[in-house]
Amino acid sequence: MKPHTRNLVLLAIGIVVAIALPLVVTSSFAIDIFVRILLFSFIGVAWNLMGGYAKQLSLGHAAYFGLGAYTSTILQIDFDISPWIGMVAGGVVAMLASLPIGWLCFRLRGPYFTIATIATAQALMLIVLKFRDFAWGAEGTTIPNLGSAPLMMQFESKAAYYYVVLGLLALGLVITYLIERSWMGYYLVAIGEDEDAAEAIGVNAPKIKRDIYLISSFLTALAGTFYIQYIYFIDPPTAFNFNISIEAALVSIVGGIGTLWGPVIGTVLLETTSTLLQSWLGNSIAGVQLTVYSLILMAVILWRPTGLMGMIGEMRQRRVSRKSARA
Amino acid sequence: MWETVAQAVINGLLIGGIYALVSIGVTLIFGVVKIVNFAQGEFVMIGMYISFYLANQFGIDPLLSLFVTMPALFVIGVLVQHFLIRRVLGPNDMPQIFLTFALSLLLLNLALMLFTANYRTVHTSYSDEAYHIAGLYIPVAKLIAFVVAMFLSGALWVFLHTTDLGKAMRAAAQNRDVAMLMGINPDRVFCVALGIALALAGAAGSLLMPFYSAYPFVGQVFVLMAFVAVVMGTLGNVIGALIASLLMGIAESLGIQYVGADSGLLVVFGLLLLTLAFKPTGLGGKAR
């Protein structure tokens, strides 16, 4: 089989498995894990567009996750507007917020860009904490449970949530695929490789970075709305959790930074590890999960900076060269 | 009225001394090795736990444990440079940022596993004492911490400007390639830079212990403050980091006094964002 055909076959199998999975595995515990995997894959995909291709290593994506979550929740509770609309509204709010935040943070490069993104996300959380009348302050609020109300993004079965987040991930992957193959994708990679050189050959780096930040923050906000609808609760530390920013970057780097499937593969590995650890050790010891994550991250950085996708690529390369050596 | 302001300024100035020790470490590593150490706060935490256990098990005063934490953290710094950071030095940002970031996550969560999230405090004879001067309240423990922090910063400045090794470090910071041509061994200089920076973090930990609780997340408070100070002061500049840290402490303290108890950090972030908006280049803008 040609590599191209084989990839298409693999993709088709993947889609069938993803759609059939909740029909075969019906335990709600398992579906909960699948939802987590799909959700963090999606967040990773959103992060990877900017962090992976353009190498703008943000650790502040929790800001957009939180903005999406709060926009849809405020619209739902105070104005009775469906979270489906709220989700898109949250995405728009996140895009609008990314303009001033990007304007500030893109003035810095490398590690100082990263620090600035952390500071802006933390500042946003502190601001929401202060708005007690507007956004319930530190206590947060529960989302009113309407039972089965698909129009309000509330479902009786966990499988329905699975399909919603599967749809989000598909959206993220399609957008990434299209960008990867467009002029924008090449500009992003050029900026990621060497921003000054990219600008010297005529890439409008500030504009490209702004545009990809818009897309990345929009997608991250969608994840925020979904997550709050899924857990029926919102407060600033949940919605603006620094761990969201960390995991978005982590799954992309472990899976393969700047690759289409990297965030998905990274999430599958990390979430599976974390689930196994939890069933083995229980939830009793705090910090085990992130200890293991950080060890995996260090190992990847020290030995395989291209991540799991890089390893897969090398294995394929070796097989091809062995074949051609025989021929 | 002026007394509240003066009191807030003094509170901020005193804690700013501790921020200075952390920021000077960050700026020293950035200046010499050209990486940002995201784990700097966790080394403050380690210093605090060493001091806590020395006080708790052997009754050693936290200020005396300075003589343990500083050498111990110096050695850790050399090891971190030799076994970890040295391997990711190069033109690529990603491994450098995420290696020290992973180290920070690792140390923080190991501490959470080993020591639990409980707050640990050490009570010394001078923990509750304070001087009252002209209606102002000056806690002894914080004053000692401030004075020692200023002494250590001064000692570092003298070291960097008078000794051969210090001069070699400044040379490496200015231009690594030329410094190598002049016969400076970069590996050795980098190890010493990491060692000194971590020793300062350890010192901050010991100095904090008489009046501050140790817990796994404690480093995050200090490292955020240090990053802001380092961005606002000129990158890689010890004096700049020192002055910015003291200002940062004062700004935080005034924020707590006049915006709200939960808003000290908000004021500091606000300052950072204002700096980025209005004077990004002069304060470290495009430097890499």
- Domain containing residue B164: CATH number: 1.10.3470
Q: Over 50: is that where the pLDDT of B282 sits? A: no
Distance CA B24, CA B229 (A): 9
Is A122 in contact with B105 (Cβ distance < 8 A)? Answer: no
Contact (Cβ atoms closer than 8 angstroms) between residue B74 and residue B198: yes
Task: Note the maximum CA span of chain B.
Answer: 59
Q: Over 60: is that where the pLDDT of A285 sits? A: yes
Q: What is the pLDDT of residue B285?
A: 41
Mutate to test the interface with B, among A117, A189, A298 (most CBs of B within 10 A): A298
**A84 SS3 class:** helix
**Is B288 at the interface with chain A, CB within 8 A?**
yes
Q: Over 50: is that where the pLDDT of A237 sits? A: yes
Note whether residue B184 is domain-resident: yes
Q: Is A74 or B173 the better-scoring residue by pLDDT?
A: A74
Other beta carbons less than 10 A from residue B171's beta carbon? 17
- Residues of A in Cβ contact (< 8 Å) with B94: 55, 57, 253, 257, 301, 305
Is B276 in contact with A108 (Cβ distance < 8 A)? Answer: yes
pLDDT tens for B85-137 read 988 887 788 888 899 999 999 999 999 988 888 898 888 887 778 888 877 88
The model's confidence at residue B201, banded by pLDDT at 50, 70 and 90, is: very high
Q: What is the pLDDT of residue B33?
A: 87
Q: Over 90: is that where the pLDDT of B200 sits? A: yes
Q: Over 70: is that where the pLDDT of A284 sits? A: no
The mean pLDDT of chain B is 86
Q: Return the residue of A nearest to B88 by Cα.
A: A302
The answer for residues whose C-beta is within 8 angstroms of residue A279's C-beta and 6 or more apart is none
In chain A, positions 117-146, which contact chain B (CB-CB < 8 Å)? 118-120, 122-123, 126-127, 129-130
Q: Alpha helices, DSSP H only, in chain A?
A: 3-24, 28-48, 62-79, 83-105, 111-130, 132-135, 158-180, 183-193, 195-200, 205-231, 236-239, 242-255, 262-281, 288-303, 307-326
The model's confidence at residue A283, banded by pLDDT at 50, 70 and 90, is: low
Is A294 in contact with B266 (Cβ distance < 8 A)? Answer: no
Is A57 in contact with B276 (Cβ distance < 8 A)? Answer: no
Q: Give chain B as a DSSP string.
A: -HHHHHHHHHHHHHHHHHHHHHHHHHHHHHHHH----TTHHHHHHHHHHHHHHHHHHH---TTTTHHHHHHHHHHHHHHHHHHTGGGG-SS-HHHHHHHHHHHHHHHHHHHHHHH-S--B----TTTT-EEEETTEEEEHHHHHHHHHHHHHHHHHHHHHHHSHHHHHHHHHHH-HHHHHHTT--HHHHHHHHHHHHHHHHHHHHHHHTTTS-B-TTHHHHHHHHHHHHHHHSPTT-HHHHHHHHHHHHHHHHHHHHHT-TT-HHHHHHHHHHHHHHH-TTTTTSS--
Nearest-10 Cα torsion for B46, B49, B55, B57:
-110
Q: What is the mean pLDDT of residues B209-237?
A: 83
Sign of the alpha-carbon torsion through A105, A111, A114, A119: negative
The model's confidence at residue A327, banded by pLDDT at 50, 70 and 90, is: low
What separation in angstroms does the CA of B35 have from each of A78, A124, B20, B128, B222? 47, 27, 18, 40, 18
Query: What is the domain extent for residue B222?
Result: 2-278
Note whether residue B283 is domain-resident: no
Residue in B94, B102, B286 nearest the CB of A257: B94
Number of domains in chain B: 1
The model's confidence at residue B286, banded by pLDDT at 50, 70 and 90, is: very low
Q: What is the pLDDT of residue B288?
A: 37
Residue in A108, A129, A301 nearest the CB of B95: A301
Q: Over 90: is that where the pLDDT of B191 sits? A: yes
**A49 SS3 class:** helix
**Is B265 at the interface with chain A, CB within 8 A?**
yes
Q: Over 60: is that where the pLDDT of B287 sits? A: no
Note whether residue B8 is domain-resident: yes
Q: What is the pLDDT of residue A211?
A: 93
Is A111 in contact with B36 (Cβ distance < 8 A)? Answer: yes
Mutate to test the interface with B, among A290, A301, A302 (most CBs of B within 10 A): A301
pLDDT tens for B22-68 read 999 998 998 888 888 999 999 999 999 999 999 989 988 888 999 99
Contact (Cβ atoms closer than 8 angstroms) between residue A81 and residue A247: no
pLDDT tens for A178-221 read 999 999 999 999 998 888 899 888 888 899 999 999 999 999 99
Q: What is the pLDDT of residue B225?
A: 85
Sign of the alpha-carbon torsion through B271, B272, B278, B284: positive
Most confident of A4-8, A136-140, A213-217: A213-217
Other beta carbons less than 10 A from residue B31's beta carbon? 23
Closest CA to A246 of A36, A48, A102, A58: A58
**Is B35 at the interface with chain A, CB within 8 A?**
yes
Note whether residue B82 is domain-resident: yes
B83-106 burial, b at 16+ Cβ within 10 Å, e below that, comes to: ebbeebbeeebbbbbbbbbbbbbb
Q: What is the mean pLDDT of residues A155-160?
A: 84
The model's confidence at residue A46, banded by pLDDT at 50, 70 and 90, is: very high
Is A115 in contact with B231 (Cβ distance < 8 A)? Answer: yes
Note whether residue B285 is domain-resident: no
The model's confidence at residue B235, banded by pLDDT at 50, 70 and 90, is: low
Task: State the number of CA atoms in the 13 A half-sphere of B83 facing the CB.
Answer: 9
Residue in B96, B260, B266 nearest the CB of A123: B266
Q: What is the pLDDT of residue A49?
A: 93
Q: Is A135 or A72 the better-scoring residue by pLDDT?
A: A72
Contact (Cβ atoms closer than 8 angstroms) between residue A57 and residue A191: no
Distance CA A212, CA A165 (A): 22
CB pairs under 8 A between A and B: 131
Note whether residue B97 is domain-resident: yes
- Residues of B in Cβ contact (< 8 Å) with A253: 94, 98
Q: What is the pLDDT of residue A209?
A: 92
Is A301 in contact with B102 (Cβ distance < 8 A)? Answer: yes
- Residues of A in Cβ contact (< 8 Å) with B116: 286
The mean pLDDT of chain A is 88
The pLDDT > 70 percentage for chain B reads: 95
Is B96 in contact with A297 (Cβ distance < 8 A)? Answer: no
**Is A55 at the interface with chain B, CB within 8 A?**
yes
Q: pTM, whole model, 2 decimals?
A: 0.88
- Residues of A in Cβ contact (< 8 Å) with B87: 302
Q: What is the pLDDT of residue B283?
A: 47
Q: What is the mean pLDDT of residues A16-38?
A: 87
**Is A74 at the interface with chain B, CB within 8 A?**
no
Is B106 in contact with A298 (Cβ distance < 8 A)? Answer: yes
Residue ranges covered by each domain of chain A: 27-326
**Is B106 at the interface with chain A, CB within 8 A?**
yes
